[in-house]
Amino acid sequence: METLFATPPVLGFAAASGTGKTTLLCKLLPLLAAGGLRVGVIKHSHHDFDIDRPGKDSYRLRQAGARQMLIASPWRTAWIEEQEQRREPQLDELLQRLQRERLDLILVEGFRHVAFPKIELHRRALERPLLYPQDASIIAIASDEEVDAPLPRLDLNRPEEVAHFILDLVATMPNSQPQRSPE
């Protein structure tokens, strides 16, 4: 399992709901791509969701009984699987589904109870306790206030600072050899 989290490196973002994990990731992705990284993302959801739309052929085929649906075009590919049994997704299983050889970094939103390197996001307004004292896998804290912690502190409101930290981190990781994205 260690290789699963190392090649390519996997980095998570842990925080309470409403902290801005997705917002930060949306700002980080273009900065990391500009830094030459090919980035994949895994997002955990506690809610039911559907990325398909009623009336589309793929939706109709799923409604007719397809347990797995793969739709592909020259622009993108989407794979949808109906779960036989409702259970929490397992991060290690999801990591195996990605084409990791085509990525330099995998960012994970959620799965905060799984032990792998994470950046904690903290917003003072939410009045939540810091997670790092109970989670030894947190390697840095991105916050909108000063935090007394023995970890690197990043400004949550400066995505370029967080991106710089990540780029430096990836550059120092073994097995990490970013490939320049095609332009």
91-110 residue pLDDT tens: 998 899 899 999 999 999 98
CA 139 to chain centre: 15
110/147 same-domain check? yes
The three-state secondary structure class of 172 is helix
Q: Are 173 and 9 in contact (CB under 8 A)?
A: yes
18/56 same-domain check? no
Residue 19 predicted with pLDDT over 50:
yes
Residue range 119-147: mean pLDDT, rounded: 95
Does residue 94 lie within any of the structural domains? yes
- Name which residue leads in pLDDT, 77 or 142: 142
- Please name the amino acid found at residue 82: E
pLDDT at 181: 47
117/106 same-domain check? yes
Structure tokens at 138: 């947190």
142/99 same-domain check? yes
74/110 same-domain check? no
Q: Are 51 and 78 in contact (CB under 8 A)?
A: yes
103/157 same-domain check? yes
Q: What's the domain count of the chain?
A: 2
* pLDDT range class, residue 121, cuts 50, 70, 90: very high
Structure tokens at 90: 């397992």
- 48 burial level (CB within 10 Å; 0-12, 13-18, 19+): exposed
Does residue 136 lie within any of the structural domains? yes
- Full domain range(s) for residue 76: 48-86
59/104 same-domain check? no
